[in-house]
A = this chain, B = another copy of it.
Amino acid sequence: MVVRAAVAGASGYAGGELLRLLLAHPEVEIGALTGHSNAGQTLGSLQPHLRPLAGRVLEPTTAEVLAGHDVVFLALPHGQSAAVAEQLGDEVLVVDMGADFRLKDAGDWETFYGSPHAGTWPYGLPELPGGRAALAGSKRIAVPGCYPTAVSLALFPAYEAGIAEPEAVIVAASGTSGAGKAAKPHLLGSEVMGNMTPYGVGGGHRHTPEMIQNLSAAAGQPVTVSFTPTLAPMPRGILATCSAKAKPGVNAEGLRAVYEKAFADEPFAELLPEGQWPATAAVYGSNAAQIQVAHDPAAGRIVVVCAIDNLAKGTAGGALQSMNIALGLPEDTGLSTIGVAP
């Protein structure tokens, strides 16, 4: 199979990571690369780490340029995907790496994004219950947010198994690439190095309803989420520390058994051996999610920590994993659990 892929938004961090992964995908041929303000520039000047594509010139993001591909990846600012997707035919696989089609509840979308809801596409987190079935053969994929990827992987097994109370508390640290490549003063190196700081505290982060959606589906009942994201002094990586009160009768062995079962056959989500904890450095550049669990009897809670690379499993790798499923390719084609460390 030769899959011809276009990437809209090739100059950003998500687009760059996607290209890095596509270059290693044996079935994909990289087609049009588009940008907005960067159209006309070479990829070599914008993504100097992607030497094989250094001479490619970004084109404007138009339906004409994106036409004639088997897959079109949209790495665009939130709210811009729908207009582009509409102009692409139904036979083209469109993979939206933005937020536009993730939420099922139009009210949630409007509350958190302040614009009309564009719709809901099959959700690109194969590890969730029913996840693969929803993606197989689909022509539209909504790639999850990076935080919801880590958090949903961490907590869906507990909720699916009914061992956790439906009130999740999550504190996550993210590398700065999660905030994108637009130059903003608070993202300057001088500001972020040596610094940890929270944002969107108290329920304001746009990824919160997406977490609620996923966890509630796993639990079969509404789950509340207290989510606090923090910005960490590293370019990549998410470390999500997630906890909930344990249902009566839960103990360490039972907890571990639930998670062993949940990830036993997963190629990209792993329950680490006992005693080893996830580290963002260990998944740098890889599509792996590392997970570990603990039962805290004194506090009566289960604690689950998940580490992912926000750009890989959290965005571009997850997109590619879902594309593979949609196209009927082996799910791990072009993807690996090998990180770059130190």
A→B interface (CB under 8 Å): 13, 16, 20, 23-24, 42, 44-45, 47-52, 167, 169, 171, 173, 175-177, 179, 181-185, 187-199, 201-203, 208, 224-226, 228, 230, 232-237, 239, 241, 243, 245, 270, 272-273, 276-286, 288, 290, 292, 294-301, 303, 305, 307, 336-342
Interchain CB contact under 8 A, B49 and A284: yes
Q: Is the interface of A mostly helix, strand, loop or mixed?
A: mixed
Contacts of A23 in B (CB 8 A): 336, 338
Q: A169-B169, A243-B226 are in contact. Are A49 and B13 (CB under 8 A)?
A: no
Interchain CB contact under 8 A, A201 and B277: yes
- Give the distance in Å from the alpha carbon of A301 to the alpha carbon of B168 in the complex: 11
Name the residue of chain B whose CB is nearest to the CB of A42.
Answer: B273
Name the residue of chain B whose CB is nearest to the CB of A299.
Answer: B226
Interchain CB contact under 8 A, A191 and B48: no
A-B contacts besides A187-B190, A196-B279, A203-B298, 11 pairs, CB < 8 Å: A45-B276, A171-B241, A175-B190, A176-B189, A188-B189, A193-B233, A195-B234, A198-B241, A201-B292, A202-B303, A236-B342
- Give the distance in Å from the alpha carbon of A193 to the alpha carbon of B20 in the complex: 19
CB distance from A222 to the nearest CB of B (A): 11
Oligomeric state, in copies: 4
Interchain CB contact under 8 A, B277 and A199: yes
Q: A241-B198, A298-B224 are in contact. Are A20 and B338 (CB under 8 A)?
A: yes
- Give the distance in Å from the alpha carbon of A112 to the alpha carbon of B222 in the complex: 38
- Give the distance in Å from the alpha carbon of A288 to the alpha carbon of B299 in the complex: 30
Q: A234-B196, A299-B226 are in contact. Are A44 and B189 (CB under 8 A)?
A: no
Q: List 9 A-B contacts (CB under 8 A).
A: A49-B341, A167-B245, A181-B190, A196-B279, A197-B279, A201-B294, A203-B294, A226-B301, A235-B342
Interchain CB contact under 8 A, B184 and A183: yes
- Give the distance in Å from the alpha carbon of A44 to the alpha carbon of B52 in the complex: 32
Interchain CB contact under 8 A, A49 and B196: no
Contacts of A337 in B (CB 8 A): 51-52
Interchain CB contact under 8 A, B239 and A276: no
Q: A196-B173, A276-B45, A338-B24 are in contact. Are A183 and B185 (CB under 8 A)?
A: yes
Name, among A188, A277, A339, the residue most crowded by chain B CB atoms within 10 Å (CB to CB): A188
Interchain CB contact under 8 A, B276 and A225: no
Q: A278-B197, A303-B228 are in contact. Are A342 and B243 (CB under 8 A)?
A: no
- Give the distance in Å from the alpha carbon of A173 to the alpha carbon of B188 in the complex: 18
Interchain CB contact under 8 A, A177 and B342: yes
Contacts of A307 in B (CB 8 A): 196-197
Interchain CB contact under 8 A, A342 and B190: yes
